[in-house]
A = this chain, B = another copy of it.
Amino acid sequence: MLDRRFLRSLTKVVGRPNVLAEPADIVLYSYDSSSATGRPDVVVFPASTEEVSRVVALCAQHRVPFIARGAGTNLSGGSIAVRGGVIVELSRLNKVLELDLANQRAVVQPAVVNLELQNLLAPHGFQFCPDPASQKASTIGGNVAENAGGPHCLKYGVTTNHVIGLTVVMPSGEVRRFGSGVLDTPGYDLVGLFVGSEGTLGIATEMVLKLRPLPEAAQVVLALFDTLEAAGEAVSQIIAAGIVATALEIMDRNTIRAVEVSFPTGLPMDVEAMLLIEIDGLAEAIDRQAARCAEICRTLHARSVEVGKTQEERTKLWLARRSAFGAHARISPAMLVNDATVPRTRLPEVLRGIQEAERKHRVEIGKVFHAGDGNLHSNILYDRNDPEAFHRAEEASREIFELAARVGGTITGEHGVGVEKTKHMHLLYSPQDLHAMWQVKRVFDPLNLANPGKVLPEEAEASQ
């Protein structure tokens, strides 16, 4: 139970309408888009860096955990209050503070939604490259916390490559500025350290983003295959041809069916794999590259190959891919999202391993891959009301992580460790490595109040 004085102090900072403390109100903040749950004691809605700073300082003073939260689309439990405490809901910090197009950068608050930023930039001919599948809902703050990826990150790099400065409320409540308005800053790269730290080092309240001109033109090639292997082979051949695609996305039959049942797009239900290729660049150049991709797919006996050139045609071809997560969520009461990532050439054997885990643990796995960079999304469907089914899903997920680690990959390409994967961190890191991360954490958060229970396994702190 929270101290009454603490609650009064919080109310004084953000105002009464911006505090939720009644159980009926805060239950909504006990979930995110993962399988994890946990009830906070209170939810506050600060309106400025200064209010966030005062809220966090109060948490430090009263030794209460705090958890930053945006749209709650987190897929690894990162925004869950696993030890109670204060949810710092950032939705009122939703402004684009500066659009400095001449210097190709924007300064935004954390609750700006990714797609809203893109829509604001597009008429000026610019984009913010990271485009997570959740971009309609997920916020830039969450993208930064998770170091989000997305289809276009194959060509342009993940979020950390596009953030050059941050204003951060440290766990003491102090406000710090990391990085600057230019690309490289002297001293240790604390912006790089902060991006992807999943809210465990503080709360970013302003971010300076790199922008990039929109490509002049783009084309999409969509090919359907009768085996998953053929789709994978097409990806290898496209890359070997020296083509730097903006996206190379594969969906398996389970996913295609889920999409067609939920949001019909006209794909045949008996096809084994869909490969979506996007090429961007200058108008006169991409014709030849798209044609070459289509030719590779045909040579590999694709059942059909379609090329989309206009915005309308491209949007239509992207539709099934963009609907994949929503479709899975619709046909299954719950799913465990496994985003293991492996060196691209190890994809075939990892694919076989995933299919084996599917059979062995009697789970259905929807496979949606950012195939170009080896980032697999295995959506392991289970019934939330059946504990035994959840156990089997967890076992299948563990086996996929172990396999990924064994072939030189990692346990998360973009969704973060959160609370769901802390137990798998030992697959990648020695006790000494994890201890070093704990030491870094303690530099910034000596009391372990910033999103505790996430990223780093507790037991690793003691080992040395």
Contact = CB atoms under 8 A, between A and B. Distances in A.
Contacts of A105: 343
Contact of A182 (B153, B212, B410): B410
A103 B343 contact: yes
A196 interface: yes
Given A158-B183, A183-B158, A288-B282, A345 B147 contact: no
A187 B282 contact: no
A227 interface: no
Interface string A424-443: 01001110111011011101
Interface in A435-463: 436-437, 439-441, 443-444, 455-456
A433 B176 contact: yes
A38 interface: no
B343 A185 contact: no
Interface string A183-216: 1111111101101110000000000000011101
B410 A185 contact: yes
A355 interface: no
Interface string A338-350: 0001111100000
Interface residues of A, number: 85
A416 interface: yes
B186 A421 contact: yes
A265 interface: no
A383 interface: no
A284 interface: yes
Nearest to A201: B188
A440 B439 CA distance: 8
B192 A455 contact: no
Interface in A40-69: none
Given A180-B408, A181-B408, A213-B244, A193 B186 contact: no
Nearest to A412: B186
Given A102-B240, A157-B161, A182-B374, 15 more contacts: A103-B343, A104-B239, A176-B436, A181-B408, A182-B341, A182-B375, A183-B373, A184-B412, A186-B411, A187-B434, A188-B196, A189-B196, A192-B192, A284-B288, A440-B443
